[in-house]
Amino acid sequence: MNKSFAPTYLKLLFAICIIILLNFTVSGQNIQEKIITGNFQKVKLEQFFKTIEKEYGIHFYYKSEWVKSYMINQDFKDMPFIQALNLLFDRQSLTFKFFQNNSVVIFPKGSDGRNVSGSNEPQVIVIGDPLNEGRYATAKLKGKILDGKNSEPLAGAVIFHPQTGIGTTTNASGNYELDLPTGDHTLQVSFMGYEVLNQKIKLIESGRADFELFEETHNLEEVTVTGDGTKASKAQMSMIKVNSRIMKELPVMMGEADIIKSVIMMPGIQSVGEMSSGFNVRGGNTDQNLVLMDGAPVFNTSHMFGFFSMINPDAVQDVTLFKGGIPASYGERISSIMDVKLKDGNTENIKFYGGIGLINSRFTLEGPFVKKKKSTFLIGGRTTYSDWIMRQSKNAQFMNSVAHFYDVNGTLNLALGQNNTLKLMGYVSNDVFNLNSNSLYTYGNLISSANWKANISKKLISNLNLSYSKYDFTLDKKDADLAADDYRLKTGLEYGSMKYILSWLPNEKHRINTGIQTIGYKIRPGEILPASSPTNVAPKKVANEQSIEMGAFIDDDFDLSASTALSVGIRYARFMSMGPTTVLNYDPNQTINSGSVIDSTVYGASETAKMYQGIEPRLSMKFNLASTGSIRLSYQRMHQFMNQVSNTSVISPADFWKSSDSHILPLISDQFAVGLFKTPQKGLFETSAEVYYKNLQNLPEYKNGAVLVMNHHVETDIINANGYSYGLELFLKKNAGRLNGWVSYTYSRTMRKTDNTFDEDVINNRKYYPSVYDKPHDLSTVMNYQISRRWRFSGNFVLSSGRPVTLPEQKYTYDGRQIVYYSDRNKYRMPPYHRMDVSITLDENLRKKRMWKGSWTFSVYNLYGRKNPYSIFYRKDASIQTTNKEQYAIYKLSIIGVPVPSITYNFKF
């Protein structure tokens, strides 16, 4: 080698190395590619800027008034700086630009929502280290799709790459995985009821990207329920969703959130009575509502006769109630479906939280399994110490009373590989109640379910639900003077179900669900046993009932055009009353009673005594309006083969269930509904107006003086009636601001008519009369005011028409006895019902690093002490005019006629 060439060659090589090093150095100094790490929960945006300037030397330029009101809740771990800014400013009124390689300018977007630069393209999310660009041909993208309002995971959301046709759906925890070629892409992220997100990404290597979706700009009733992705469609209407935040803000008795009292504040839903957990939907009876807990039905939804509802509110993720447009995958009841979804459990760490109140306490523990972060558990429970409190009272009635309950719930969420999840749920409850009497009531639920979800492919999802529910009721009657008359009355039922749904998602605008369901019932209508020895009580038992219900369904949800969505479904329902049973045959020329029996038919085990079947079409349609609104309509037909037998208007633990048989026909409901939904002022307000009409067939009504308990042939005291319901539902909600809340008003009527052959089976001379649930006017208002960052005030006011009652109109004496003549059925009304509740809450400390956090809630139920009549009854009492005679008199009973204060301490660790 030439000696003069060697130094020159070495210098050139050294210069090339310096240039390459400088290029890498400059590239490494590009602030867009800087990797940042930090926790910024409930931190002002301006404080975030100052922290980044101090730790990374990046300068920010902005006007203080632009950013002073912004708070951020975001954690960054080894994330490129540009990706962090994209997350912070996505869908905000501010945007940003880089300049001079170490500075960022923050400025408002244009008034039309576009960037000042004139581009309305979304910011690009960079995934991976820019230095590795071009190194990989394909990469795995994973992450989570969340609800932008509450950060809850969206199960069944679709993430789709239009250029390649590659797509997938999220699992039960909202997680997804997608294999894509590296490079620039635009992803479509969608979920029914939410706005579609078109997000640009630059995929350099395998990494993570979380996406947030926001509800479509429609009213509360159109929010899509999270879950298996089969429960609602784009055209869904008449649906209400209440999450844990809304429940928390409602002031309720004893300072505890209540899932049923929360939905009662919505239009079209009315309370049965003071402190009752039953509810009426669009004029339907309480037994016409199917309440599901992770897919398993609940047959008694109350504790302490309605003072508390069935489930620990801390374990509830959300509650969805369909009052119309019910998807074809649901059957069993004709008025509503309430789907309660329990939390899966925290995937990151162990959490313990609960509350301590005046008469009850609750707790919840959740977290991941050791070494299995994708599998989680949750266990919670409640108990009451009301017995101890009543014993401290100086009132003899309370001192001799018993009232306590407990419930325990648990979920186990198992990740069985990447494409399978199994969720197990268990629930048990027990109530004991006695109010200074010789009757002790004991009742409880035992409920379990298993939900197995499998992603067969990126477009095919399988869901299998197995559920079991058992309800038992016991009445112990004791006579202090004659123990030989003591007895025990027992009723109950068991339910087992298998439901399978297969969902096919050809693309993000089309979804088909199909499936089958099989249900088995075993009803124990009543059994009386002696409770002492010796005894005067003869054992009695009403024969058990066995039945099978089956359903097959399919629905298709798709977009007809950019402005029109359609959901069409059909369900086939079949019911079989099974043996062993004996069916009495009655003379067709006489009314059904004990004197018209002509013979009987005996059916052995596994024989079908009676079979009913029917087709249930479902249709929902949505038309988008140009002015941020939509018109929606729906039609549904449904059958109900199970009825709760009760001669009172208020659901009671002692009520028993009766299945359809040779004499009791199934209920049939046809409902039409149409609604207008708008979101003025860019979604600050939500408004809706819905009208509905419901035609009802084969409604059970009871003969005057009917005896229902321990009736071996209850069909002799039941009359078939037909009827109709109609109504107008108005709703206005303010979503944001320190002052928010809603107002709902419902005008509705529900009427009945008996037009039977025999006069003995006719009520009110074949004229229409109001149902016991007919309450024409119903107004509910809810207000929340954020006094400061921690202090919050809530209040609600309810006003409704009094329910119909039957009252005595005349009385006369015959053979030395006073006879009372009653009015036509439900001719009169009780006084209007109204009540106001308030609460003030000191929320938990905002310091994130504080391990133990607590909040206090002080609430007052029935603030101004309204004595709302619970019932009106007629009984003998001493005459006012004379002292030697007893006369009948009318009395009003109020359950709670005074303000009821309570204080609760809620905590989490």
Residue 136, judged by CB atoms within 10 A of its CB (0-12, 13-18, 19+), counts as: middle
| Average pLDDT score over residue span 606-622 | 95
| Average pLDDT score over residue span 423-428 | 95
Mean of all residue pLDDT scores within the chain: 81
pLDDT over 50 (residue 144): yes
What pTM, to 2 d.p., does this model score?
A: 0.75
The tokens for 368 are 């991941």
What does the pLDDT look like over 252-266, one tens digit per residue?
A: 556 677 788 788 889
What pLDDT was estimated at residue 501? 95
Q: What's phi and psi for 695, nearest 5 deg?
A: -100, 135
Question: Are the CB atoms for 640 and 288 separated by under 8 Å?
Answer: yes
The domain 124-214 is classified under which CATH number: 3.40.50.1820, 3.30.310.50, 3.30.390.30, 2.60.40.1120?
Answer: 2.60.40.1120
More confident residue, 196 or 611: 611
What pLDDT was estimated at residue 233? 61
More confident residue, 482 or 768: 768
What does the pLDDT look like over 307-337, one tens digit per residue?
A: 778 888 888 888 889 999 999 999 999 999 9
For the ranges 73-77, 98-102, 499-503, the one whose mean pLDDT is highest? 499-503
852 contacts: CB under 8 Å, gap ≥ 6: 907, 908, 909
The answer regarding whether domain 34-123 maps to CATH 3.55.50.30 reads yes
What does the pLDDT look like over 841-865, one tens digit per residue?
A: 888 775 555 667 788 888 898 889 8
pLDDT over 80 (residue 881): no
Angle among Cα 904, 908, 909 to the nearest 5 degrees reads 145
CA atoms within 13 A on the CB side of 363: 7
Q: How far is CA 902 from CA 169, 407, 667, 678, 862, in A?
A: 45, 21, 42, 38, 12
What pLDDT was estimated at residue 225? 30
Q: What's phi and psi for 480, nearest 5 deg?
A: -65, -25
Which residues of 135-235 form beta strands (DSSP E)? 138-147, 158-161, 166-169, 175-181, 183-190, 197-203, 207-208, 211-213
Q: How confident is the model at residue 290 (pLDDT cuts 50, 70, 90)?
A: very high
User: Could you give the CA distance from residue 892 to residue 268 in angstroms, rounded to a whole number?
Assistant: 27
User: Could you give the CA distance from residue 513 to residue 517 in angstroms, rounded to a whole number?
Assistant: 13
pLDDT over 80 (residue 100): no
Q: How far is CA 436 from CA 204, 397, 401, 440, 747, in A?
A: 74, 5, 5, 9, 40
| Average pLDDT score over residue span 729-746 | 89
More confident residue, 14 or 182: 182
Which stretch of 323-327, 606-610, 869-873, 876-880 has the lowest confidence by average pLDDT? Answer: 876-880
Q: Fold for 239-587+595-908, please state it.
A: Maltoporin; Chain A (2.40.170)
Q: How confident is the model at residue 220 (pLDDT cuts 50, 70, 90)?
A: very low
What pLDDT was estimated at residue 230? 40
Q: What is the DSSP letter of 110?
A: P
Q: How confident is the model at residue 232 (pLDDT cuts 50, 70, 90)?
A: low
Angle among Cα 172, 176, 181 to the nearest 5 degrees reads 165
pLDDT over 70 (residue 270): yes
Q: How confident is the model at residue 891 (pLDDT cuts 50, 70, 90)?
A: low
User: Could you give the CA distance from residue 119 to residue 429 in angstroms, rounded to a whole number?
Assistant: 59
Residues linked to residue 103 through DSSP beta bridges, in sequence order: 59, 99
Q: How confident is the model at residue 26 (pLDDT cuts 50, 70, 90)?
A: very low
Q: How confident is the model at residue 519 (pLDDT cuts 50, 70, 90)?
A: very high
Which stretch of 121-135, 139-153, 305-319 has the lowest confidence by average pLDDT? Answer: 121-135
pLDDT over 70 (residue 889): no
What pLDDT was estimated at residue 753? 93
What pLDDT was estimated at residue 99? 63
The tokens for 455 are 């992603």
For the ranges 16-25, 104-113, 208-217, 537-546, the one whose mean pLDDT is highest? 537-546
What does the pLDDT look like over 160-181, one tens digit per residue?
A: 887 777 778 887 678 888 888 8
pLDDT over 60 (residue 382): yes
What pLDDT was estimated at residue 579? 92
pLDDT over 50 (residue 456): yes
User: Could you give the CA distance from residue 719 to residue 161 in angstroms, rounded to a whole number?
Assistant: 60
Return the C-alpha torsion angle 588, 590, 591, 594, nearest 10: -100
The tokens for 654 are 């002692």
User: Could you give the CA distance from residue 198 to residue 129 in angstroms, rounded to a whole number?
Assistant: 23
User: Could you give the CA distance from residue 339 to residue 327 in angstroms, rounded to a whole number?
Assistant: 12
What pLDDT was estimated at residue 15? 47
786 contacts: CB under 8 Å, gap ≥ 6: 738, 739, 792
Q: How confident is the model at residue 249 (pLDDT cuts 50, 70, 90)?
A: low
Q: How far is CA 437 from CA 180, 395, 433, in A?
A: 71, 14, 10
